[in-house]
Structure formats: C-alpha cells, structure tokens
RNA sequence: GCGCCUGUAGCUCAGUUGGAUAGAGCAACGGACUUCUAAUCCGUGGGCCGAGAGUUCGAAUCCCUCCAGGCGCACCA
C-alpha cells in the first residue's frame, strides 16, 4: 500500500513537471509513511518539503499543486489534506481496507510474501561455533537472528541457504583432543595436572569415559600425537552431533555444514594464496606471507602464512568466502558475535581482492549476551567449563520464549539476560501475549464450528458491517503487514516483526474484550468470524517467520 | 592510546535511511470475569532522549567535542 501511494505521488510529480507546474529536474528521496498520529491520515508524504529548496517555493504551495493534480487511477483516495509545514496527508477509502481482508483470504500463508529478491541466491552463515564444547547462551542469540533473517529473506523472495562453518582445523581442536587425553588418563587412574589452557567442562570427561567403554585403555600405549588426533576426531564428532541436536530443538536447521578441512583438500588454500601472490596482493618478508589488506582500507596488513609454515585462520577464511561465491551466491550474510568486529575490514579486503563487491558481503554483528543470575554476572568461558548451555536455557525458559526474547531487540543492542528473571517472568513473557491472541481466535472459530456456523468466505459477508473503531484499526494493521516484512527484510532487522505482532495482538485483545464475535446477528457474526480468520492467518504467518509456535490452545 | 557498539520513563527496550504532541512492555496505583480462554481488558501517574556546541523550515535521529558502560586492537579462532 505504501508503495502504491509513493507511486501515485511520483506519477503526479512527473505530470506536474511535464505540465510546467513544478520546475524541478528530478524527484529527491521522498518518504511515504504511516503517521504516528491517526489524525494525520492513513499515509503521509513529505514530498513538498523535500522539493522546497530545489523549487524555491513554500512547501505548502507545492503541496497544493500536487494535491490539485493528483492522479488516482485505482480510485483509492478518499481525501487529501495539507498540514503542518507541508505534509500531504492521504485518507484512504474504506473499501481499500476491506479489500485487504479479501487479499489475505486469497493469499493465505502467502500473504506477506514479496518478490523483491527475484529468487537471487543468498547464503546466511551463522553460529559456526567450533565443536569444542556445547553451545551456550551466547550462541543462542546469533542462532536465532541468523535463522530469522534467513526466513525473512525467503519470505521476501530470495533463494536462501543456511550454512554452519565448522572450524575444525585449528589449534583449538588440537586442544580439545589433548583435553580428552588428559581426562582419559585420569579416569584410568593416572595422576595428572590438568593444564589451564585445556577445556575443563564435564562433557570432556563423558567423551573420555565413552572411549574407555568402547576401546579400553589401549590408547595409553600408543603414540601420543596420533592419539590426540584420534581423540580430536572422536570428540569433535560427538560434540558436533550434540550441537546439531541442540539447534534442532531450538528450531534452527541448516542446509549445509561446511568443514574447514574441506578447504585444505587438493591444496585449495595454498593454490589460492599462490594466485593472490601473482596478483601482488600477497608478499613475503622472508619468514611469513602477508596479505596487503591496507590496500582496501584495513589499518595494517595481515599474516596469511605463519613463520612455522601454517596458514592462519584468515587465509582459510578467504578461501571459504571464495568458495561461497563460486557456489553462485550473489549476497552473502555472515552473522558474527560483536567481539569479532575488528575482523571485518580484513575480510572485506579479502573478498575485494578476489574481485567481489564489498556490498555483496553483509556482516551482521550480534552483541554479546550479558548473562546474569539474580542480578549477578555469570562468568562465561568455554575453556573453564563455566557456562550456561543452550540446552539449559531451552529446558528452563522454553524455545518460544527464548527465541522471542532475543528477537525483540535490535541485534546491535547490548542485552542483559537474567536467568532468574527469565524464569520468573516466563508466565508474563511477551511471546505469550501474541500466542494467546492466536489461541483465542482459534477458540472462537472452534466455538462457531460447534454451533454449526460455517466459516464464511469474503463473498458471503458484508464488509461494511465492520465499522467498529477497532475493526477498522485491525484491518489497517493487517494491511501494513507486507510492508513490515519489506522493511525488516531490506534492513535485515528481525526485531520489527515482534513489535508488529505485539501491536496486532494488542488491538485484537482490546477488541475481544469489547465485542462479541458470535452473536444473534447472523450477518455481523459472519463478517466478524471472517475477520478473525484473517487475523489468524497474519499471526500465523508472522510467527512462522520467527520460528515461534502458534498454539491453538493455551 | 586507537577503533567499533551502546546511552530514550524506576527497569527492559522501540522510535520506520531528518518530520507533526517522543512510544510499548514490565513494575506502581485504581477498576472489569453469570459472557467466544482474566496468560486479557479499561484508567492513572511517570521524560533536560548521557552532556555541550553546530548543520536547517524541523534533530532522539546527521557533524564535532566531551562523559559513562561494553567489546576489540595476534603469526587465536
């Protein structure tokens, strides 16, 4: 609808310019918005104000010209008004809102789906925690944000893949194997001093115990390096399987798990570095190889091959991103913890050296979660084994509440997550407010069914019976749903959807308390029942994008 | 020291790429169930938008300088 109004204003503008009424070459960026105050109309445009300086005329005067020449081929405008410093306010005909009910019925689960993506291939890479321990609360936020951004883009018409990058080739993995070996020896009666830089969580002991149960003590006699490699592989596999389980129960499913090891096959990384060296993006100082990231705005050049001959994480990461592009993705979205923000210029430099546009790689920083228990900070460290796992949060708070909690905030805002508060408030969590609205509607529809009132279609009802203030409000909010999706997808800001849902549910609850849907008035009952069914569709569509359940009973 | 993020009601946060009188939830207080679910609704109070200066018709939003908190500044990932 917003787009329609904007087009209408643009067309009018062109006509006015062609007719010599306005002397302006082109239309500057103009806005069409839903005003905060309903008295300012259904939509408002600032077109006259942005034109004022160029045309050198009073904004109100310009607004008058546009108003007088307004083209309205679909005949949707009831009236217009010039207000304030030069706003042009639009009041739409009632039939426009009623018509959205019809559109929702036609489109059902497709309502809100857009085509701005043009089926372009997009990849969202997120979580990507190395499998050295279970996922914790800190990973949860990034997991949900990535998942919902993927859902959003899909809804907006992109062809989306979700990918998890498994960092299973580095030092940390070696540490993991070592940690298991220490516990292994310990469990077999050896007295050991457990090193501080090893992983100390109980899950390491479980892995060691499993190995003992399956293979006994035979590894004690074997070559240590080989054993560590073995244990690394075993532990990595076990832990990754657990990570996948946790994610699945959190409602997050990936299309691909991409192993870092894959990049090293057939000398992939080395070949890439060779080719970059030929292009003079990489130089040697005799001991190490450096990437000239400063050529693309980084503050210093970065090492890609260490003194000891091993490539850095960065080297593999360039290869990884090249691999992404070679798989045909036109837009790549990386979701990172905000503690990695310093890494952005480096990676952007990397992909630009590969000939890719900086804009094609979008990096979403998700601020770290500040975990509290009853107001006291909880230390979080995978290595020390001190952390609250995603699994625990799922058990305590529940999937829907946890997801909604993370989705309500902008991803770049810092977030306190107090476990005690989350538990205590679980019954008054905003997610229930929305789900309750859904359940109530289901309940009404069920009641109608029990009374043998058939669910009407748009053709069966008289939409002009829906005249209550809240009924008009509900229709307007529902009409705004597609543009809400549009805005959230364009800015990659999932939090807009919970806010939208909260508003829709709020007006519904208010309406519910004031009005009976099912009454003796047959025509009115039919019209209202129909509207309930459309609200249910919108709620369900939006909740689905969030990956939050829509229960029919609560 | 340098860079990035944040600062809005008592608390947690929105504020649609500069718009009209800055909003919501929670908490507080007062009301509403003989009714399609009271996990709801109705009402009341609550603000120097961190501070200061600037840009213009107009600033919570943009520029600059400070202050406070968080996170980075590896041949770790």
| pLDDT tens, per residue, chain A with 554 residues | 787 888 888 888 888 888 888 777 677 777 888 887 888 889 998 888 888 777 777 788 888 888 988 888 888 999 998 888 888 999 999 899 999 999 999 999 999 999 999 999 999 999 999 899 899 887 999 999 999 999 999 999 999 999 999 988 878 898 999 999 999 999 999 998 888 778 888 899 999 999 999 999 999 999 999 999 999 999 999 999 999 999 999 999 999 999 999 998 888 898 999 899 989 899 998 889 999 999 998 889 999 999 998 899 999 999 999 999 999 999 999 999 988 999 999 999 999 999 999 999 999 999 888 777 766 777 666 666 667 889 988 988 889 989 998 999 999 888 888 777 777 666 668 899 999 999 999 999 999 999 999 999 999 999 999 999 899 999 999 999 999 999 999 999 999 999 999 999 999 999 999 999 999 999 999 999 999 999 999 999 999 999 999 999 98
CA→C1' distance for A118 and B56 (Å): 40
Helices A496-514 and A399-407: crossing angle in degrees, nearest 10, is 110
In-domain check, residue A151: no
CA→C1' distance for A537 and B19 (Å): 34
Q: What pLDDT was estimated at residue A364?
A: 94
Shortest CA to C1' contact from A411: nucleotide:
B5
Beta bridge partners of A336: A365
A37 touches strand B (CB under 7 A): yes
In this structure, the answer to whether residues A8 and A77 fall within a common structural domain is: yes
Distances (CA, A) of A394 to A55, A245, A249, A398, A402: 59, 12, 8, 5, 7
Distances (CA, A) of A298 to A277, A291, A345, A349, A535: 18, 11, 5, 7, 50
Alpha-carbon gap, residue A137 to A143, rounded angstroms: 10
- Of the residues A193, A226, A249, which one is the last residue of a structural domain? A249
Shortest CA to C1' contact from A89: nucleotide:
B20
Alpha-carbon gap, residue A139 to A411, rounded angstroms: 13
* Closest residue by Cα to residue A199 from A179, A183, A181: A179
CA→C1' distance for A394 and B55 (Å): 50
In this structure, the answer to whether residues A48 and A103 fall within a common structural domain is: no
* Closest residue by Cα to residue A529 from A433, A461, A478: A461
Alpha-carbon gap, residue A488 to A156, rounded angstroms: 10
In this structure, the answer to whether residues A81 and A186 fall within a common structural domain is: no
In this structure, the answer to whether residues A81 and A189 fall within a common structural domain is: no
- Of the residues A249, A281, A305, which one is the last residue of a structural domain? A249
Alpha-carbon gap, residue A481 to A34, rounded angstroms: 12
CA→C1' distance for A111 and B16 (Å): 21
Tokens 């459309």 belong to residue: A534
CA→C1' distance for A337 and B71 (Å): 10
Name the pTM for this structure: 0.93
Helices A481-491 and A522-546: crossing angle in degrees, nearest 10, is 10
Q: Which element (helix H / strand E) includes A421?
A: helix A419-424
In-domain check, residue A146: no
CATH code where residue A498 lies: 1.10.730.10
In this structure, the answer to whether residues A9 and A76 fall within a common structural domain is: yes
Q: Which element (helix H / strand E) includes A119?
A: none
A510 touches strand B (CB under 7 A): yes
In this structure, the answer to whether residues A105 and A65 fall within a common structural domain is: no
In this structure, the answer to whether residues A431 and A522 fall within a common structural domain is: yes
In-domain check, residue A447: yes
In this structure, the answer to whether residues A78 and A181 fall within a common structural domain is: no
Q: How many structural domains does chain A have?
A: 3
CATH code where residue A55 lies: 3.30.1360.70
Q: What pLDDT was estimated at residue A424?
A: 67
Q: A328 exposed, middle or buried (CB, 10 Å; 0-12, 13-18, 19+)?
A: exposed
In this structure, the answer to whether residues A536 and A445 fall within a common structural domain is: yes
In-domain check, residue A494: yes
In this structure, the answer to whether residues A460 and A504 fall within a common structural domain is: yes
A302 touches strand B (CB under 7 A): yes
- Of the residues A234, A249, A264, which one is the last residue of a structural domain? A249
Spatial contact of A130 and A170, defined as CB atoms under 8 Å apart:
yes
CA→C1' distance for A349 and B27 (Å): 49
Which bases of chain B are contacted by protein, using any atom under 7 A from a CB? Answer: 3-7, 12-17, 19-27, 32, 35-37, 39-42, 57-58, 69-77
In-domain check, residue A33: yes
Q: Which of residues 225-254 of A touch strand B (CB under 7 A)?
A: none
A290 touches strand B (CB under 7 A): no
In this structure, the answer to whether residues A6 and A75 fall within a common structural domain is: yes
In-domain check, residue A299: no
In-domain check, residue A370: no
Which residue range is the domain that position A539 belongs to?
Answer: 98-115+427-546
In-domain check, residue A35: yes
Pairing status of strand A159-166 against strand A121-125: parallel
In this structure, the answer to whether residues A496 and A433 fall within a common structural domain is: yes
Structure tokens at A53: 């300086």
- CA atoms within 13 Å, Cβ hemisphere of A256: 14
Alpha-carbon gap, residue A334 to A126, rounded angstroms: 6
Q: What pLDDT was estimated at residue A426?
A: 66
């Amino acid at each position: 609808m917003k787009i329609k109004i904007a087009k209408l204003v643009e067309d009018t503008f062109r006509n006015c310019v062609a007719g010599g009424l306005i002397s302006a070459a082109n239309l500057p960026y103009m806005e069409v918005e839903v005003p905060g105050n309903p008295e300012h109309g259904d939509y408002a445009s600032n077109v006259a104000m942005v034109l004022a300086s160029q045309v050198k005329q009073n904004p109100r005067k310009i607004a008058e010209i546009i108003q007088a020449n307004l083209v309205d081929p679909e005949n949707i405008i009831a009236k217009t008004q010039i207000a304030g410093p030069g706003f042009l306010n639009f009041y739409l005909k009632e039939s426009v809102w009623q018509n959205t009910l019809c559109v929702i019925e036609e489109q059902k689960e497709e309502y809100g789906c857009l085509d701005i993506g043009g089926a372009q291939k997009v990849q969202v890479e997120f979580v990507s925690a190395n499998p050295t321990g279970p996922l914790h609360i800190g990973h949860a936020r990034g997991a949900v944000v990535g998942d919902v951004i993927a859902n959003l883009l899909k809804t907006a018409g992109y062809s989306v893949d979700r990918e998890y990058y498994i960092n299973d080739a580095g030092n940390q993995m070696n540490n993991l194997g070592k940690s298991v070996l220490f516990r292994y020896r310990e469990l077999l009666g050896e007295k050991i001093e457990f090193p501080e830089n090893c992983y100390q969580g109980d899950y390491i002991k479980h892995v060691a115990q499993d190995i003992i149960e399956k293979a006994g003590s035979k590894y004690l006699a074997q070559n240590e390096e080989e054993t560590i490699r073995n244990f690394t592989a075993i532990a990595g596999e076990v832990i990754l399987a657990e990570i996948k389980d946790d994610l699945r129960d959190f409602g997050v499913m990936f299309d691909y798990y991409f192993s870092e090891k894959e990049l090293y096959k057939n000398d992939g990384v080395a070949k890439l570095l060779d080719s970059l060296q030929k292009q003079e993006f990489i130089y040697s100082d005799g001991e190490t190889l450096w990437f000239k990231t400063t050529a693309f705005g980084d503050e210093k050049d970065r090492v890609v091959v260490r003194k000891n001959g091993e490539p850095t994480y960065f080297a593999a990461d360039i290869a990884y991103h090249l691999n992404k592009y070679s798989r045909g993705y036109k837009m790549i979205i990386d979701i990172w913890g905000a503690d990695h923000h310093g890494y952005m210029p480096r990676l952007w430099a990397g992909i630009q050296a590969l000939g890719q546009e900086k804009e094609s790689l979008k990096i979403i920083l998700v601020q770290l979660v500040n975990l509290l228990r009853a107001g006291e900070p909880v230390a979080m460290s995978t290595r020390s084994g001190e952390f609250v796992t995603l699994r625990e949060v799922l058990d305590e708070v529940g999937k829907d509440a946890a997801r909604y909690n993370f989705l309500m905030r902008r991803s770049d805002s810092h977030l306190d997550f107090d476990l005690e508060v989350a538990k205590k408030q679980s019954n008054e969590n905003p997610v229930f407010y929305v789900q309750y609205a859904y359940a109530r509607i289901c309940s009404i529809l069920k009641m109608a069914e029990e009374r043998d009132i058939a669910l009407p279609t748009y053709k069966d009802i008289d939409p002009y019976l829906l005249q209550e203030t809240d009924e008009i409000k509900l229709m307007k909010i529902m009409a705004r749903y597609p543009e809400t999706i549009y805005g959230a997808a364009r800015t990659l800001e999932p939090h807009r959807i919970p806010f939208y849902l909260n508003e829709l549910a709020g007006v519904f609850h208010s309406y519910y308390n004031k009005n009976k849907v099912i009454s003796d008035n047959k025509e009115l009952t039919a019209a209202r029942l129909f509207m309930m069914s459309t609200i249910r569709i919108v709620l369900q569509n939006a909740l689905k994008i969030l990956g939050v359940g829509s229960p029919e009973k609560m």
